[in-house]
Structure 1
């Protein structure tokens, strides 16, 4: 297994400044692709969205490209929580979140039976 080096953050970048938001989104996308956990999270997001962009309802494929987007912006205090992430088509990523009629409501996660050690599950 090759050694993977940590990519340094620009010294002038701040994750809480709106002007640096696109820089940290690009870093998040790169970091997610490079990690095994990230692949699992991407696959889960892709499947829970029905393999479609939730705004334009077009299929997300390798050819169309995709971008991770925060429902509540990270600069507003939200984290990289799976409930706050959504996959959008790459070309629509910069248009959709800025428009006023943009809203995404994610369905709550359903737990399978048997995950809890409580009796009756």
Structure 2
């Protein structure tokens, strides 16, 4: 390799890194969003199960049990939790925070206790 060809390729590595950096950052954000979604799904299922258990024991306010069972960033409004039957069924809808823009993820979980 001559001195002239080395000078012509100077800076190409920096340009390649600069071109790949946005893609790497976007993939990292997607992984964080997927981890948050999986955590939200498992936490929501546990919260709905606990609310259905409380409803089967006579607790008339499943919204309180749901909100006590989830972290603060997953709290639900009263309109997003409802009872259904037969049995003591609870259905709740949760919003997962958005890391990736323009991606609105809502999950609904339900369970029935006898």
TM over 0.5: no
Normalized per residue, which structure has more strand?
A: 2
Bigger CA radius of gyration: 2
- TM-score by length of structure 2 reads 0.25
- TM-score by length of structure 1 reads 0.24
